[in-house]
Structure 1
Amino acid sequence: MKKALKRLQRVLDLEASQGYKNRAVVGGIRQFATFWVDQARAEATSEQDKAFVEQAAELLIDYGRLPGTEARAKAIEQLQSKVQQRQAQEPASPPRQKPVHKPAQKPTKAAVSPPAKQKKPPAKATYQTPPPRNKKPSKWDRQPAPRQPVEPDPEGLAQSVTAVRGIGPKMAEQLTKLGASTIAEMLYIFPHRFDDYTLMKPIHKLAYGETVTVIGTIWETRARRSRSNQVIVQSVISDGTGKVQVTWFNQKWLVDKLKAGMQIVISGKVEQYLGRPVFNSPEWEPLELDPLKTRRIVPIYPLTKGLSSNRMRDIMRGVVNHWGARVADPLPIDLRQRQKLLLLSEALQQQHFPDSQQALHEARRRLVFDDLFLLQLGMQGFRQEWQSQSSVEIVVEAAEAETAVLDQFQQSLPYTLTAAQQRVIKEISDDIATSTPMNRLLQGDVGSGKTVVAAAALLLAAKAGYQSALMAPTEILAEQHFNGLQPLLEPLGVQVCLLTGSTAANEKERIYSELANGQIDLAIGTHALIQENVSFKNLALAIVDEQHRFGVDQRKALRDKGPSDGELNPHLLTMSATPIPRSLALSLYGDLDLSILDEMPPGRQEIKTYWIPTRERERVYSFIRKQVATGRQAYIIYPLVEESDKVDAKAAVAEHERLQKEVFPTLQVGLIHGRLSSSEKEAVMRAYHSGQINILVSTSVIEVGVDVPNSTVMLIDGANRFGLAQLHQFRGRVGRGEHQSYCILVADSETAVAEERLGALTQTNDGFALAEKDLEIRGPGQFFGRRQSGLPELRLASLLDMDMLQIAQNEAKAIAEKDPKLEQPEHQLLRQQVAHFWQNTR
């Protein structure tokens, strides 16, 4: 495009010589731009040329609007410099050869015969040109070698990542942070997104709601603060066809990264603001011209400090090309064919470097199936293993005795059981009357009456002549259960004891003795219940409160204390107050039977929930003072900004100090956070429970389930950073007594998602409805936050993919019925995969 560059250079030089007055051409520089851009685009042949034309067009069109001579001079100098760079890169023109004049020849018959059928001219390339002959072929130009079947190499895949050429000790350490210490594990470091250069769109053709990739030049980047003091970074990006505004939140460092003139790729959803297309928090990366030329789908990998995107991509390309084909496929051939799934080796190659969007979809489908299938196979195995063992039949003598016992229990209560409570009691009593050990999850919202249901089961066990144990994760929760169950059960003839680490030594000895000889019917406690020196005469029912707080080994130790020295399993009931949507609970706890208390007892006082702007925070402090003056207590919760207890604790400590010194100097303000030891947390909770602390500042580690009836205010600062289910759990810490209680939400973000989430919380107190809404808004990955105890981490699958989950569940059941221990030759590899998948969780 020599001519276009020469024309532009002349105009720029003239404008500079005239003092940057926008008079170099009639009508100004903008008028020249409209004429020059069309000609330049026609002459542009390479991607560099096209990118330059669009950048120059932006500068020329907006030149007249620049404020003052200095800004115009800077723009002209910048463009002159770029013109000179492009001219230097232009190949020298070959010398013109003189035409050779040949005498005209008469056409022969062959020359005038019908012409041979000509090939159609190739379609005109829009963004793509072949690389120059004198240029070294790009890594993106190379076509992958035909994929020939190769022998699986499990030993090679088990090697350290340092066996890969180009990976030394330093990079191996970086890869370990990403979760890969072997070559096989590297194959499962999947791209977290893709820049699809086949789906590029010019800005002037963007449509609201679509997810696209846009390439352009940054015109400007600036930062400002919102009314809630949130940092907002905004860039204006242009590709010559139009401009688009891009916004990021709380990422001030982007101002130094996204400099004017930088070419950038952004991928995200096109949203609407004031009638214009915008991007909010899209993914971005500096432009690479190689994949742009070949219109490839480019993987963007997760990174860690010191590891660049290009370096990671180059290493992964080598690993996938060589080792991806050497992965053995554990799925039986008939299953793979029935479900139309790719070979695992093909799926891995396409998941990293897809040939097309369809190939990526098929690869993802196969890998998602693997995740869910291994999850369900493991659960089927646990279920089969549990049900293959025997338990005692908890049956009260005489057919009518059980009904009589439950009738007497209900009559002793000062209230009537809900229909949901009666239904779940029936489900549990039916389970424990058989010799197959019960393994049931009891889910109920805060205040739904789980404890009363547990009491009914404990009573049935005692009346049938067996012992029970109820294990809680903390001493204060164990004491709470003891204080609630002892007055319910002892009048009915059930002997109850409390055993925790704080129990006096002589009291412990008495309890040990009476548990061993059967005098005590029900032991309530913490992990002290599963110590070696604790033995039961005939433990038949074990209840665990808040399952996710216990490790699997602890639950197993309790189970092993069953009748006949552990040869018979006790029946196991797990209680959880964490609302989980039923569909998700079935997939997460597929090895358990599920009971749900979906009805609240009548007369329970509703907690009033308000969502206020940050500027009204002082009003809330004033309200808390008034509540404390009447003898009440309050919680103030601060969010987990990152998944780091240290970062979280620093924030809580600073706020606690400020609140104690500046806001509530005459009150006692306590502090609890993840950096405290278990004993320190317990001491703080005791002080709050006893009323020594008026206001408790906490992070999200606040104890689930602790009843402090005197607490009436729950202030959640930064409420937009929590999920709905978690916010609902916090709200459940108040409203436990006779006094009207309040939950006040302060958001430090004004996003649409925050509005939807917090608006939902103010409208309902139904934990299950909120859990469904939370799942819909955030998806299962963020719904659970850190990995659940006892569950493997899913690499690609979403637990919301109910169709694929159902397929995986059905296939897992079919295999488990035929070969429950996966002992058949065709299932050997599958058994290894299941063991590996679950190895760090059970």
Structure 2
Amino acid sequence: MLVTVWFELFERSLRAEEKQNYRNIKGREYFFADFILHHLTVFSAQPQHAKILARLQNIYTLYPLCSVAERREMLEESKRLLEGLRDPREIRKVVAAQVQRQAQAEAASDWRDVPVQFVKGVGPKLGEIFAKVGIGTVGELLHYYPRQHLDFSKCTRIRDLRKGELVTVWGMIHSVSLFSPPAKKQMTIVKVVVRDGTGRLILSFFHQGKQQWIRAQAAQRFPEGAQIILSGTVQWDSYNRSLTLDKPELQILENSEELESLEEQNLIHLARIVPVYPLSEGLNMKWVRRAIKAGLEAFAPKIPEPLPPELLKTLPLPGYAQALSEFHFPSSQESLQAARERLVFQELLLTQLGLQFRRKQRERYESGLVFAPPGELSQAFLKSLPFELTGAQKRVHQEILADLQRSEPMSRLVQGDVGSGKTVVAVLAMLQGVENHYQAALMAPTEILAEQHFHKIFEWLLPLGVQAELLTGSQGARSRREALARLASGEAQIAIGTHALIQEGVEFKRLGLAIIDEQHRFGVKQRALLREKGLNPEILTMTATPIPRTLALTLYGDLDVSILDELPPGRKPVQTQLVKESQRQRVWDLILYEIEAGRQAYVVLPLVEESEKSELKAATSEFEAYQAYFPSLRIGLLHGQMKGQEKDLVMRAFSAHELDILIATTVIEVGVDVPNASVMVIEHAERFGLAQLHQLRGRVGRGSDKAYCLLVTDKLSQIARERLEVFVSTNDGFIIAEHDLRLRGPGEFLGTRQSGLPDLILTNLAEDGELLDLARSSAQTLLQADPELKSRENLQLKQELYRFFRRHLSVLEA
């Protein structure tokens, strides 16, 4: 790109952002800040440009996090920096002025950016190996946390050693001998006998090569009479008929006659609580320990405390630098626990600050739509329903109405267990929008779910004179054109669809409410695109996946959470049983009994087609097997590889009771509603997560008939059996969700990583609930007193927040 064109594009972008009042505007491909960051990468830079480019990159990395006033200052600074890039003679003045302004704020974090190769003992070669595991700077090195710790801190007498124990032994090298086994002349075994006055320990070390060289090395490595410390796991050596240590860490003590205790030796591999780090090919455990120890010794004194003094006083936790040192090389189990709690608290505090900061910015700079109270349309809809709302539905409806009548933007997540009636709540919210002369949109993650919603809502609203439109990817061109025209003109008041709702060409006349169903299936940018279809429409998010409290607070800490925790009256708990492969006749008998009684059954499998490498039953082969076993029954097949129209035809046939049995994959997991279905058979149930099993079980028991869920399994491991027994024991989705979180962790729980949040490296959400509550309340207190984190005591914390969200800034824009 020509330099003149590059400068013109940059300046034009600055003018556009100024014109839009520093909103971080969205272009065709990028937000403003993202475009500038991309634009900087194509500049033909010279060495003298480095500092200015680095400053510009820093500005636009932080830009989405900043207030409008700060963004205005950043654009003014950018103009001055551009002059420096244009005329090299001005660079020195520009750089000096900008660096001096930022030096105080950013000096504290300079230690993190030092290349790891400059840590004592690392160097360029080891630095390249560290780079393979993502360690390029001192900051990344000191945050490369141990995956576990081994306690070698207490010395054990040899006579007290027990097989299988982790121990540390302090003794004297009594003798060293070498020999080669008769069958392996090329191997030399070095036998070292260690005594401590209470017994002896024999260590064997195996070598290949000339015995003369090995003898000289052994004499140098194990001088007889020297003091030695050993740490490892006690094993029985059947050859020497003696106790030994398996792969011991060892160190010869220097000047041992002058030592009074082990603490006087600077030991990092043994005789202490030892860190164990994850390794990749080419990376040695001792190298990692030495590098981190050297990094801590050099840089820990330079690490500033990010927490404000007042907050730190209220916490019974160590400072940041001390916590880092103690977590890597703890002086005791108590200090290790305190260090972990401090680092976990900081992770959670920064997450909560980011989410609360996002909400504060949204409330400060965005105006919500103020809806009038419910009118005749909502009342007519409630009267038309053949059932009464549950207490939970009434409560959540009132919470949503209160949000819609406030001037601040709505920030609410409705969380309902399977069958709790969140669709009715969504319709009441949409009717509230229609009564206020706005349009409403409901976006679902799959076509089946979108179509299910559409058919139900269309049927409910047609008598009320409210027109709903369906938009999906598989829709015909003519049908799509007509639907788009009705939405653009305002003739259609409600749109229901999939990702098709956020595609180019979809325009609303006056979108005032957007509802995102199963919102964890959508990414941050997809949710933002739906918001952009209107002028600051209210956003309501919903999920039928019960989410544990700690995970909900972490993912959705900026949202108010409403919980639908009551099932409609008349619903009976689904009877759930574990069934072995050998008991298959019971499964077929139950299916036949229920079908003869006029009901229907699902059979769910994890695969579409069988492969040679897998013994799992596939939907296609099971479909053929059921046709052979039940020749007189009407059986359908449904899986994700079918075209949308084919899937729709099968689901319509099953819903209309034109099919008795539906063989399916997990495409029916969410949203399929056939009240007449009373049997759910899940093949290879051990292959599904608990949350997924709960969703599948929720497809039956939706009517007044008794329903059954049969989990067909074979050869279960102990862990798999315990997991499925939890599922069998309860129908409560929130109890199941807590167990699922403990077993699988937050990363896998929702089956997606689309939250956009930084990873929680040390936090265990199943165990750290108290720290999460403390972090959440601390974040709220801090932002209540200082919404922009501008005060002097909060500057370090704000810098830490920037760094924490550095690679995840889009989450703060959503």
TM above 0.5, one fold?
yes
- Aligned partner of 1:807 in structure 2 is 774
Equivalent runs, 1:360-399 vs 2, <5 Å: 360-388=336-364, 389-396=366-373
Inter-partner Cα distance in structure 1 for 2:421 and 2:234: 51
Tell me whether 1:304 sits opposite 2:280 in the alignment.
yes
Query: SS at 1:287's partner residue?
Result: strand
Inter-partner Cα distance in structure 2 for 1:361 and 1:386: 37
- Aligned partner of 1:575 in structure 2 is 542
- Aligned partner of 1:184 in structure 2 is 139
Inter-partner Cα distance in structure 1 for 2:627 and 2:168: 53
Q: Which of 413, 419, 440 lines up with 2:391 in the alignment? A: 419
Q: CA shift at 1:728, angstroms?
A: 1.2
Q: Which of 307, 323, 326 lines up with 1:331 in the alignment? A: 307
Q: 1:705 to 1:160 in 2, by over 3 A?
A: farther
Q: Deviations over 1:658-696 (max 9, x none)?
A: 6567787679896858xx7xxx68578547525699664
Tell me whether 1:540 sits opposite 2:512 in the alignment.
yes
Equivalent runs, 1:425-436 vs 2, <5 Å: 425-436=397-408
Q: 1:152 to 1:266 in 2, by over 3 A?
A: farther
Q: Which of 446, 453, 459 lines up with 2:418 in the alignment? A: 446
Q: Deviations over 1:213-246 (max 9, x none)?
A: 4699xxxxxxxxxxxxxxxxxxxxxxx99xxxxx
Q: Deviations over 1:95-131 (max 9, x none)?
A: xxxxxxxxxxxxxxxxxxxxxxxxxxxxxxxxxxxxx
Q: 1:792 to 1:730 in 2, by over 3 A?
A: farther
Inter-partner Cα distance in structure 2 for 1:203 and 1:696: 64
Normalised TM-score (structure 1): 0.63
Inter-partner Cα distance in structure 1 for 2:580 and 2:677: 23
Deviates more, 1:774-783 or 1:824-833: 774-783
Letter in 2 for 1:354: P
Q: CA shift at 1:572, angstroms?
A: 1.4
Q: CA shift at 1:595, angstroms?
A: 1.0
Q: Which of 327, 334, 339 lines up with 1:351 in the alignment? A: 327
Letter in 1 for 2:783: A
Q: CA shift at 1:591, angstroms?
A: 0.8
Query: SS at 1:610's partner residue?
Result: strand
- Aligned partner of 1:794 in structure 2 is 760
> Are the aligned partners of 2:444 and 2:516 in contact in 1 as well (CA < 8 Å)?
yes
Letter in 2 for 1:705: G
Deviates more, 1:737-746 or 1:165-174: 165-174
Deviates more, 1:537-546 or 1:659-668: 659-668
Equivalent runs, 1:275-294 vs 2, <5 Å: 286-290=247-251
- Aligned partner of 1:55 in structure 2 is none
> Are the aligned partners of 1:152 and 1:326 in contact in 2 as well (CA < 8 Å)?
no
Query: SS at 1:288's partner residue?
Result: strand
Query: SS at 1:295's partner residue?
Result: coil
Letter in 2 for 1:189: Y
Q: Which of 758, 771, 776 lines up with 2:737 in the alignment? A: 771
- Aligned partner of 1:616 in structure 2 is 583
Query: SS at 1:579's partner residue?
Result: coil
Q: 1:790 to 1:628 in 2, by over 3 A?
A: farther
Inter-partner Cα distance in structure 1 for 2:560 and 2:146: 37
Q: Deviations over 1:359-388 (max 9, x none)?
A: 212211210111111011011112112222
> Are the aligned partners of 1:161 and 1:182 in contact in 2 as well (CA < 8 Å)?
yes
- Aligned partner of 1:599 in structure 2 is 566
Inter-partner Cα distance in structure 1 for 2:589 and 2:159: 52
Q: 1:655 to 1:723 in 2, by over 3 A?
A: closer
Q: 1:648 to 1:772 in 2, by over 3 A?
A: farther
Inter-partner Cα distance in structure 1 for 2:580 and 2:708: 16
Q: CA shift at 1:590, angstroms?
A: 1.9
Letter in 1 for 2:139: A
Equivalent runs, 1:671-710 vs 2, <5 Å: 685-686=647-648, 689-690=651-652, 696=663, 698=665, 703-707=669-673
Q: CA shift at 1:498, angstroms?
A: 1.1
Equivalent runs, 1:102-141 vs 2, <5 Å: none
Q: 1:169 to 1:428 in 2, by over 3 A?
A: farther
Q: 1:458 to 1:358 in 2, by over 3 A?
A: same
- Aligned partner of 1:143 in structure 2 is none
> Are the aligned partners of 2:623 and 2:663 in contact in 1 as well (CA < 8 Å)?
no
Q: CA shift at 1:778, angstroms?
A: 6.6
- Aligned partner of 1:726 in structure 2 is 692
> Are the aligned partners of 1:709 and 1:736 in contact in 2 as well (CA < 8 Å)?
yes
Q: 1:657 to 1:557 in 2, by over 3 A?
A: closer
Query: SS at 1:541's partner residue?
Result: strand
Inter-partner Cα distance in structure 1 for 2:299 and 2:611: 41
Q: CA shift at 1:580, angstroms?
A: 1.9
Unpaired runs of at least 5, structure 1: 1-150, 217-239, 242-262, 268-283, 397-401, 640-644
Tell me whether 1:820 sits opposite 2:796 in the alignment.
no
Q: 1:204 to 1:428 in 2, by over 3 A?
A: farther
Deviates more, 1:430-439 or 1:593-602: 430-439
RMSD: 4.3
Q: 1:494 to 1:798 in 2, by over 3 A?
A: same
- Aligned partner of 2:150 in structure 1 is 195
Q: 1:697 to 1:451 in 2, by over 3 A?
A: closer
Unpaired runs of at least 5, structure 2: 1-105, 170-197, 200-230, 236-244, 252-266
Inter-partner Cα distance in structure 2 for 1:785 and 1:192: 24
- Aligned partner of 2:27 in structure 1 is none
Deviates more, 1:469-478 or 1:333-342: 333-342
Q: Deviations over 1:20-63 (max 9, x none)?
A: xxxxxxxxxxxxxxxxxxxxxxxxxxxxxxxxxxxxxxxxxxxx
> Are the aligned partners of 1:720 and 1:754 in contact in 2 as well (CA < 8 Å)?
yes
Q: CA shift at 1:421, angstroms?
A: 1.0
Q: 1:175 to 1:359 in 2, by over 3 A?
A: farther
Letter in 1 for 2:370: E
- Aligned partner of 1:43 in structure 2 is none
Q: Which of 495, 513, 528 lines up with 2:500 in the alignment? A: 528
Tell me whether 1:265 sits opposite 2:233 in the alignment.
yes
Q: CA shift at 1:654, angstroms?
A: 7.1
> Are the aligned partners of 1:496 and 1:524 in contact in 2 as well (CA < 8 Å)?
yes
Query: SS at 2:798's partner residue?
Result: helix
> Are the aligned partners of 1:214 and 1:266 in contact in 2 as well (CA < 8 Å)?
yes
- Aligned partner of 1:138 in structure 2 is none
Inter-partner Cα distance in structure 1 for 2:276 and 2:751: 23
- Aligned partner of 1:462 in structure 2 is 434
Identity %: 42
Inter-partner Cα distance in structure 2 for 1:684 and 1:352: 57
> Which one has the largest radius of gyration?
1
1 or 2 for the larger relative contact order (CA 8 Å, sep ≥6)?
2
> Are the aligned partners of 1:499 and 1:528 in contact in 2 as well (CA < 8 Å)?
yes
Equivalent runs, 1:578-589 vs 2, <5 Å: 578-582=545-549, 584-589=551-556
Inter-partner Cα distance in structure 1 for 2:468 and 2:158: 72
Q: 1:509 to 1:724 in 2, by over 3 A?
A: closer
Equivalent runs, 1:72-221 vs 2, <5 Å: 154-155=109-110, 157-158=112-113, 161=116, 166=122, 172=128, 176=132, 178-198=133-153, 213=166
